[in-house]
Amino acid sequence: MQIEIWSDVVCPWCFIGKRRFEAALEKVTTSPDAIAQPIEIIYRAYQLDPTAPTNSSAPVREVYAKKFGGTERADKIIAQLTETAAQDGIEFRMDIGQRSNTILAHRLMWWTGVNHDFQVQSSLKEALLNAYFTDGVNVGDSEQLISIGVRTIPHEVDDAEFAEFLRAFFASDAGKGEVAEELATAISHGITGVPTYVINGQWSIPGAQDAETFERVLRRTAERSA
């Protein structure tokens, strides 16, 4: 079974959905009635805010106020998201969040997926989401991404050398075409919001469903493919 997850690291529901999907995945792979077939999981790129500047940032609260019609409405949305995230064990600090262009983060995710297994890619995704939603980091800044990458991605060289490697990677064209292709594929698949989970290239699960729904769909898919 192949599961492609289209998501963005500045998407609150992608963080919440990650928690719920992981809970379902653990049940279907480790419980006494675990499904037999292997599961391949791949993160794909999607940009919620592709016009965000790459060389500057702004408080998320201000961005939400402009987008949703004022500070009062923005604060209400942020409070609701914070409460929902807390129910899934996630601390949101969107009051200190910074608007970020995520194209470099997606390139780093792509590189990690090519060179490491899904567990490493998932750990990087977790670190990026935590950086943005909990620590108020601008995840569009290459130096911030390098710091996260050095802490998260296994490497055989010392930290300084790996940091220089990542710096050169961001300065190159590596991954640009591949990420652009993933973004285009999302459009061709009709994906207009994230997270979206595409199973075996055929079935789509939109949004941060609850863990029970994810589990039910995974089990049904396994039965159909048996």
Q: In the predicted model, what is the mean pLDDT of the chain?
A: 97
- Supply 67's token pair: 């987008």
pLDDT over 90 at 213, yes or no: yes
State residue 224's pLDDT score.
Answer: 87
- Residue pair 64/77 in contact (Cβ under 8 Å)? The answer is yes
At 103-124, the pLDDT tens digits run: 999 999 999 999 999 999 999 9
The residue that leads in pLDDT, 226 or 219, is: 219
pLDDT in tens, 69-90: 999 999 999 999 999 999 999 9
| Of the candidates 125, 57, 136, the residue with the CA atom closest to the CA atom of residue 91 | 136
For the stretch 170-189, pLDDT in tens is 999 999 999 999 999 999 99
Give 225's pLDDT tier (boundaries 50, 70, 90).
Answer: confident
In this prediction the pTM is 0.96
Instruction: Please state, as a whole number, how many other Cβ atoms lie within 10 Å of the Cβ of residue 72.
Output: 10
pLDDT number for residue 56: 84
Residue found under tokens 């402009």:
66
pLDDT surpasses 80 at 226: no
**What phi, psi does 20 have (nearest 5°)?**
-70, -40
Q: Which CATH number belongs to the domain containing residue 214 in this structure? A: 3.40.30.10
pLDDT above 90 as % of the chain? 95
pLDDT band at 197 (very low <50, low <70, confident <90, very high): very high
Rg (CA), the chain: 18
Any idea what the Cα angle at residue 185 is, between residues 222 and 170, rounded to 5°?
110
Residue span of the structural domain in which 209 resides: 2-225
Question: CA-CA distances (angstroms) from residue 17 to 81, 107, 195?
Answer: 12, 21, 7
How many domains does the chain contain in total?
A: 1
